[in-house]
Homo-oligomer: A and B are copies of this chain.
Amino acid sequence: MNRIYELTDLIDKDLEENLLSEIEKEKISKELNTLLPKNSIVLAQINPISGYVEYNAKKALKWIEWANRLEIDAIVFPEMYMIGYPIGDFIDRFPVIVEENVEWLEALAKLTKRVKVIIGFVEINKEKVGKNYYNSIAILSEGKIQQIIRKSLLPNYAEFNDYRHFEPASVNSESRIVDLGGKKAGIIICEDGWNDFDFFDKNLYKEDPVEVVVKEQHPDYLINPSASITRAKKEQLKHNMLSFAAKKYKTPIAYANQVGSGECLSFEGASRVYDADGNLIAMAKSYKEQFFIVNPFKDLGKIYPLPKGLEKTLNSQKAFTLDHEPDLERTYLTIVQSIQDYFKKTGFKRAVLGLSGGLDSTVCATLLADALGAENVLGISMPSKITSKESKNDARELAENLGINFTEISIKDMYDATRVKFNEVFANVDKKWNCRYAECFTNDNIQARSRALILWGIANEFQSTLPIATSDKSELYMGYATINGDMSGGFAPIADVTKTKLFALARWMNENRERKNAIPESIIAKRPGAELAINPKTNRPLLAEEALMPYEFLDEVIWRVENLHQSIGDMIDSEFLYETKEKISKEQKMQWLEKFFRRMSTSLYKWTIMPPSPIVDARSINKVEYRQPIIASKINFNKTSLDEKIEMLKNT
């Protein structure tokens, strides 16, 4: 049966590069039609561009034309495909975009034939009550819009904002049934399929559209067009849930997911079918567009593998672990796809970044080389007087190994010119304000900011070139990053990757990239430090862990905040992985915890001015999914008792 997928690989190539002649297309279609069982459909695993409706429509037409050559019932596009997910708030500010998405849908409909096109779009709500729009699926065929189905459950948490723009529709089970080749297919739109009362311990919504549709309409199978992003631990949940529902209702489910990245959100594809026993019988590629032919009633023999180890992780992560390996391939693919799509969709071609010889810039350079091609990446070593010879050598060696462009330029003269001016201006300010810090980061920051000045200068001078911000998640939580310095850039590839995971990712890339061991072992082996200041205690460049706390401890705090939503009290009472290896006093632990929450609360400003970055983890501080007002810097993360509170009030 795999001949089907050899042939669809050719279709995928043709869709991407218009390779095939009419005769070749005929030949492929003919052979495919002999292989396809009745009631096959296509899951269009496709990558739209947000707001670029014309592009999305033209692209859809090419896929629809291929579908029309085949003896299949339908081609299923993802949720909101016409307008391109994610949408931010533009449909409210610019109604012309919605009008255009409706008209392009009508234009597409005119050109449809027998095969039903099941396609997501934004529908205008013409009633006098409710939000302006519906999140809808249209069924197109025979030159017309035949039917419209509206989403009922509107997710509005984390990265989801459906209820900002859309009116929730009543489930209306009858409207959701589509006749496909004599079979009754029930349409469930993304979140509509995520509210099973038996599967979840806690449910967000009062109604389960799947249950209503199945019980009222007895469909032969369900189709779920989605735009569902990849996150650590989500795949296992999705698999278990879809399998559970298919088995519970003895109804096959075909799930069509978007692929590609939209700024901070990444869609992994992996569209699929579960049979009536809840068995996975078909799965599309991950992180690739695919014209994926499936049959809800028949195993066509193809389950493309998920990124290595993905499933394994997801069940197990109930405690913090330093064994990041199971999630590394997914992490790598997510970031690479994000870089590629961010550059492609915004029109950038080249990336420039500072190479410090440290871990963060090293991992960024490697990911950029793989995403954009080494020839489109420029690494610049910008030593100051604190930079060690080893760091300079490491940077150069890395660039050579990756094959990226490289240059070295000293920032000493810029630093000196700035420092002279600072002395002059500080002396003047001193006369007016008697409030100079005894210790501060002024000199550290001149270095980081001079480097960013060079990167942005290159972006100003050379076409389609984007500077890269290299800050990582552990350091961003602590505000250990310089405004207008290493935080600054057009894209931040690793802002959702913690430090301990970055070490693991570096080793993984050394083993799994075609060019083995491109990252010099000396970079991975050395302890991180920004090389911006000298530690007076050691007389060597200050190490990050000296300024912060051990990364293994820090990363577990982050993990507990994001995954368990713990307070200081919860954490002080739990044993950390770090504590099983190193004995630390309760005072030391409390000091680190308080430092974490204090620094986090005063670093909120930095999070809000970060450039876009791919969301990778189960939870992140990416501003697309999490916002905390900067003024909320006085939160008490350590509970007091009711009696203490009453005392505090009485003593006010």
Contacts and interface: CB of A to CB of B under 8 A. Distances in A.
B57 A649 contact: yes
Given A49-B631, A61-B652, A204-B131, A407 B433 contact: no
A629 B86 contact: yes
Contact of A88 (B203, B341, B629, B640): B629
Contact of A635 (B51, B61, B205): B51
Given A108-B649, A205-B129, A405-B433, A50 B463 contact: no
A421 B411 contact: yes
Interface stretch (A30-38, A244-252, A343-351, A511-519): A343-351
A493 to B, nearest CB: 15
A636 B458 contact: no
Contact of A97 (B156, B429, B449, B635): B635
A131 B158 CA distance: 13
A646 B110 contact: yes
A636 B104 CA distance: 12
Nearest to A342: B631
B55 A634 contact: yes
A429 B100 CA distance: 42
A636 B129 contact: no
Contacts of A57: 645, 649
Interface residues of A, number: 139
B90 A51 contact: no
Contact of A263 (B625, B629, B636): B629
Interface in A34-87: 49-55, 57-58, 61-62, 84, 86-87
Contacts of A347: 633
A89 B636 CA distance: 16
Contact of A462 (B436, B441, B452, B648): B436
B378 A433 contact: yes
Given A421-B414, A442-B461, A652-B62, A629 B94 contact: no
A619 B94 CA distance: 13
A584 interface: no
Contacts of A262: 629, 631
A128 B163 contact: no
A263 B446 contact: no
Interface string A613-652: 0000001000101111111111111111110011011101
A645 B128 CA distance: 30
Contact of A456 (B341, B483, B641): B483
A111 B649 contact: yes
Most central of A440, A465, A609 by chain B CB within 10 Å = A609
A561 B610 contact: no
A304 interface: no
Contacts of A342: 631
A581 interface: no
A89 B642 contact: no
Nearest to A426: B461
Tallying the copies of this chain within the complex gives: 2
Contact of A51 (B62, B610, B632): B632
A422 interface: yes
B639 A99 contact: yes
A333 to B, nearest CB: 19
Contacts of A89: 625-628
Contacts of A424: 409
A635 to B, nearest CB: 4
Contacts of A565: 92-95
Given A436-B461, A456-B484, A457-B422, A612 B637 contact: no
Interface string A97-127: 1011001101110110000000000000000
Interface in A184-215: 201-206
Contacts of A610: 609
A401 B512 CA distance: 66
Interface in A236-278: 262-263
A605 interface: yes
A470 interface: no
A608 B187 CA distance: 36
B639 A96 contact: yes
A458 to B, nearest CB: 6
A380 B422 CA distance: 12
B453 A484 contact: yes
Interface string A431-449: 0110111001110011001
A351 to B, nearest CB: 11
B62 A425 contact: no
Nearest to A154: B163
A146 interface: no
B633 A567 contact: no
Given A425-B409, A429-B407, A645-B104, A93 B628 contact: yes
Contacts of A634: 49, 51-52, 55, 345
A418 to B, nearest CB: 6
Contacts of A525: none
A429 B417 contact: no
A456 B426 CA distance: 12
19 contacts: A49-B631, A57-B649, A58-B652, A87-B632, A90-B628, A94-B567, A94-B637, A103-B639, A106-B645, A107-B642, A107-B649, A131-B204, A157-B164, A380-B425, A442-B460, A450-B453, A456-B484, A484-B488, A612-B630
Closest 8 CB pairs of A and B: A51-B632, A96-B567, A417-B417, A107-B645, A52-B634, A345-B631, A50-B632, A51-B635
Given A108-B649, A345-B631, A445-B457, 7 more contacts: A95-B565, A111-B646, A128-B202, A407-B428, A413-B421, A414-B417, A609-B611
